[in-house]
């Protein structure tokens, strides 16, 4: 048992290091997205003189992969990407959840129509019109990173508390999949030659599914910490509530059908959707609706309906998810709003896991209302309401 605790502590700490939610050693790591060799040469030369660490990507897709490997403190990107990229891909990258607190500097050509849109960007964002002076670029880069470092420092303090909690009081959700992975790998190592092919395949399947579960739990912990910091930052709250409008209907359809398929319950899914728009990033909206819909399928029986409604009027939008599952009692509903630290008590309450806590937090930081109507054994209705 002691060995399992030690292994889990080391693995959980390693996951934090690898995901790089925020840099542990604050350095000036810059990601440049540009496909013009002349501009790239100028920027590389300018930042080399200032001892910055610079990665260069020719497209948003390559930039995304680089950002995962080496979490940047600043992203500089050109509005003059090729037609396959365009502004849509640029703003999708900007709105990725794990990059949502990274400052962006946009290089704007005189002909670009991108400049007016920057009025709605997060407060970390800047733009520079080309041609630009090297000193101007360096000055704005340092200013953007300085602003970001304040947020990074606060979040690092929050994560230090979280890492301590994980090391000494790990919730049992980590133990269940990890012990399964350790158990099956031990069998494969010790008895591989005595096992049938189908037995090996089955064990590998269990290992994979539990690794996916462990990954999701870890990502949720990190996202919860991020949301917790945003809740305390009025500037960040104000900026998020001024995000670009996106179409809820398309996202709800794609997310709900994917989850229904995962549970082999496509026939149980009932969609009653109106066209609605909402100010929220694509990443946050997908996370919000996926957690609510997944909860409905997870805690209801196959053959019972999961109904999803999208309603809107001149002043508000409502997302409603209804199931006929086991339901929740008053204490379990109340615990979702408690925002307790990560401890066993929170996770041992059936039907009130971290997923709904995250969904509620995403709703509230965007100025919405998160309401649950439920009784034990009578199903659950989750209503999420936003002003528009």
- The domain that contains 72 carries what CATH number? 3.40.50.2300
Strand spans (E) along the chain: 29-33, 53-57, 74-78, 104-108, 126-129, 245-247, 269-273, 277-279, 306-312, 316-323, 369-374, 380-387
Q: Do residues 161 and 142 touch, judged by C-beta distance below 8 A?
A: no
Examine the fold and report which residue of 191, 221, 236 is the final residue of a domain before the chain moves on. Answer: 236
Strand partners, 272: 309
Is residue 103 over pLDDT 70?
Answer: yes
Whole-number pLDDT of residue 83: 44
- Measuring CA to CA, how many Å separate 1 from each of 6, 8, 211, 269, 289? 9, 11, 20, 43, 38
- Percent of the chain past pLDDT 90, that is, above it, reads 21
Biggest distance spanned by C-alpha atoms of the chain:
70
Is residue 282 over pLDDT 60?
Answer: yes
Whole-number pLDDT of residue 303: 94
Question: Distance between CA atoms of 187 and 8, rounded to whole angstroms?
Answer: 19
Instruction: Determine the average pLDDT of the residues in 276-280.
Output: 87
- Model confidence at 306, pLDDT cuts 50, 70, 90, reads very high
Terminal-to-terminal C-alpha distance of the chain: 52
DSSP type of residue 131: S
Q: Do residues 98 and 281 touch, judged by C-beta distance below 8 A?
A: no
Whole-number pLDDT of residue 156: 60
User: Looking at the structure, do residues 6 and 90 belong to the same domain, yes or no?
Assistant: no
User: Looking at the structure, do residues 43 and 148 belong to the same domain, yes or no?
Assistant: yes
Is residue 119 over pLDDT 70?
Answer: no
User: Looking at the structure, do residues 308 and 367 belong to the same domain, yes or no?
Assistant: yes
What confidence tens digit (pLDDT) does each residue in 21-50 have?
A: 333 344 578 888 888 888 888 888 888 766
Whole-number pLDDT of residue 166: 46
What is the number of other CB atoms lying within 10 angstroms of the CB of residue 181?
A: 19
Question: Distance between CA atoms of 333 and 317, rounded to whole angstroms?
Answer: 23
What confidence tens digit (pLDDT) does each residue in 160-188 have?
A: 555 554 444 455 667 778 888 988 899 99
What confidence tens digit (pLDDT) does each residue in 214-272 have?
A: 888 888 888 888 887 887 777 777 777 777 778 899 999 999 999 999 999 999 999 99
Which range has the top average pLDDT, 39-53, 226-240, 281-295, 337-351? 281-295
**How many domains are contained in the chain?**
3
At residue 55, the 3 state secondary structure works out as: strand
User: Looking at the structure, do residues 198 and 304 belong to the same domain, yes or no?
Assistant: no
**Would you call 351 exposed, middle or buried from its count of C-beta atoms within 10 A (0-12, 13-18, 19+)?**
buried
- Measuring CA to CA, how many Å separate 244 from each of 68, 86, 247? 24, 16, 10
Q: Whole domain around residue 202: which residue ranges?
A: 2-16+164-236
Is residue 323 over pLDDT 90?
Answer: yes
User: Looking at the structure, do residues 250 and 380 belong to the same domain, yes or no?
Assistant: yes
Examine the fold and report which residue of 154, 185, 212 is the final residue of a domain before the chain moves on. Answer: 154
User: Looking at the structure, do residues 11 and 28 belong to the same domain, yes or no?
Assistant: no
User: Looking at the structure, do residues 318 and 376 belong to the same domain, yes or no?
Assistant: yes
Whole-number pLDDT of residue 60: 79
At residue 53, the 3 state secondary structure works out as: strand
Say which range, 40-49, 59-68, 154-163, 200-209, has the weakest mean pLDDT.
154-163
The more confident residue out of 376 and 20 is 376
Say which range, 37-51, 199-213, 336-350, has the weakest mean pLDDT.
336-350
Please report whether residue 159 resides in a domain: no
Whole-number pLDDT of residue 132: 77
DSSP per-residue codes, 8-29? HHHHHHHHHHHHTSS-SS---E
Looking at every residue in the chain, the average pLDDT score rounds to 76
User: Looking at the structure, do residues 377 and 250 belong to the same domain, yes or no?
Assistant: yes
């Amino acid at each position: 048992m002691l060995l399992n605790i030690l292994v889990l502590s080391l693995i959980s700490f390693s996951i934090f290091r690898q995901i790089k939610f925020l840099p542990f050693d604050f350095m000036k790591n810059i990601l440049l997205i540009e496909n013009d060799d002349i501009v790239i040469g100028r920027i590389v030369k300018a930042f080399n003189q200032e001892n910055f660490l610079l990665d260069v990507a020719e497209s948003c897709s390559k930039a995304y992969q680089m950002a995962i490997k080496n979490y940047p403190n600043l992203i500089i990107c050109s509005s003059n990407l090729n037609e396959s990229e365009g502004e849509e891909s640029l703003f999708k990258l900007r709105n990725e959840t794990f990059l949502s607190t990274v400052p962006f500097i946009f290089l704007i050509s005189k002909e670009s129509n991108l400049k007016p849109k920057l009025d709605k960007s997060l407060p970390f964002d800047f733009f520079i019109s080309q041609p630009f002076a090297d000193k101007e670029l360096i000055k704005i880069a340092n200013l953007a990173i300085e602003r970001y470092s304040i947020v990074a420092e606060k979040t690092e303090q929050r994560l230090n508390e979280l890492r301590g909690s994980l090391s000494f009081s790990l919730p049992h959700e980590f133990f269940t999949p990890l012990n399964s992975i350790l158990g099956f790998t031990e069998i494969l190592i010790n008895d591989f030659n005595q096992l049938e092919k189908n037995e090996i395949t089955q064990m590998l399947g269990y290992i994979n599914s539990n690794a996916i579960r462990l990954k999701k739990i870890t990502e949720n912990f990190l996202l919860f910490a991020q949301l917790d910091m945003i809740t305390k930052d009025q500037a960040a709250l104000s900026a998020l509530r001024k995000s670009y409008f996106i179409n809820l209907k398309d996202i709800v359809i794609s997310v709900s059908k994917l989850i229904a398929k995962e549970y082999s319950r496509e026939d149980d899914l009932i969609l009653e959707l109106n066209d609605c728009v909402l100010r929220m990033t694509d990443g946050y909206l997908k996370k919000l609706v996926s957690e609510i819909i997944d909860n409905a399928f997870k805690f209801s029986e196959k053959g019972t309906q999961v109904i999803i409604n999208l309603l809107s009027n001149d002043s508000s939008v409502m997302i409603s998810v209804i199931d006929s599952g086991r339901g929740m009692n008053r204490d379990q509903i109340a615990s979702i709003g408690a925002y307790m630290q990560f401890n066993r008590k929170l996770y041992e309450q059936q039907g009130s896991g971290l997923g709904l806590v995250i969904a509620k937090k995403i709703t509230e930081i965007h100025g919405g209302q998160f309401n649950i109507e439920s009784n034990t054994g009578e199903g659950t209705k989750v209503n999420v309401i936003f002003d528009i």
